Amino acid sequence: DFGLWLEHGPVPPAADGNDGDANHGVAMKISEKNSRTVDMCVLKNILSLWVALIRRNLVQIRGDDEDDSVKALVAFTRVGLDPHLYSAGDCADTCGEPLHALVQQISLALIRSATSQLDGSHVEQWMKRAAGRVVDACSELSAGAEGAADSDDVDGYLPLAMAVKRMCFCEFDNDFSLDIALMKLNFAEQALHNCLEEITDWKDKVKERADFLCKDWDKKNTSGSPARDRLQHAMHALVTAEVGFQWIEEDSEPFMRNHPHLLAAVSIAGECALVGTCIFWSSQSDSQSEEQVYSAEERDAVHESISNIEDLCDGIKKECRAVIAYPHLRRTKEYLTRLSKRLGGTKGKSSQDKRRKRREQGSLDSYFSRPSMSDPFRDTQDS
- pLDDT tens for 198-244 read 888 888 999 999 888 888 776 665 556 777 888 899 999 999 999 99
Calpha distance 11→377 (Å, rounded): 100
Contacts of 27 (CB under 8 A, 6+ apart): 12, 13, 15
Higher local confidence (pLDDT), 265 or 150: 265
CA geometry: angle at 219 spanning 217 and 220, to 5°?
A: 125
Instruction: Name the band, by pLDDT with cuts 50, 70 and 90, for residue 251.
Output: confident
Cβ 241 vs Cβ 343: under 8 Å: no
What's the mean per-residue pLDDT of the chain? Answer: 77
pLDDT at residue 374, as a whole number:
47
pLDDT the model gives residue 3: 42
Q: In this predicted structure, what is the pLDDT of residue 161?
A: 93
CA 323 to each of CA 218, 315, 330, 338: distance values in angstroms, whole numbers, following the listed order:
46, 15, 5, 16
More confidently predicted of 78 and 292: 78
**Burial tier of 235 (Cβ tally within 10 Å: 0-12, 13-18, 19+):** buried
- pTM of the prediction? 0.79
Q: Are 195 and 268 in contact (CB under 8 A)?
A: yes
Of 170-184, 253-267, 325-339, the poorest mean pLDDT is in 170-184
Residue type, 126: W
**Lowest mean pLDDT, pick from 50-54, 191-195, 310-314, 346-350:** 346-350
pLDDT given at position 360: 47
Bridge partners of 294, per DSSP, are: none
Under 8 Å between Cβ of 167 and 186: no
pLDDT in tens, 24-62: 555 555 444 455 566 777 788 888 888 899 888 887 776
- Asked if residues 305 and 269 have their Cβ atoms less than 8 Å apart, the reply is no
CA 38 to chain centre: 31
Could you tell me the pLDDT band of residue 129, with boundaries at 50, 70 and 90?
Answer: very high
Question: Is-contact 94 40, C-beta < 8 A?
Answer: yes
Cα 321–chain centre separation: 27
Measured between alpha carbons, how far is 158 from 380 in angstroms, rounded to an integer? Answer: 71
- For residues 100 and 80, the answer to whether their CB atoms sit within 8 Å is yes
- Chain mean position to CA 301: 22
Closest CA to 165 of 282, 235, 278, 270: 270
The more confident residue out of 27 and 330 is 330
Say which residue, 120 or 204, is predicted with more confidence.
204
> Are the C-beta atoms of 247 and 200 separated by less than 8 Å?
no
Average pLDDT over residues 321-350: 85
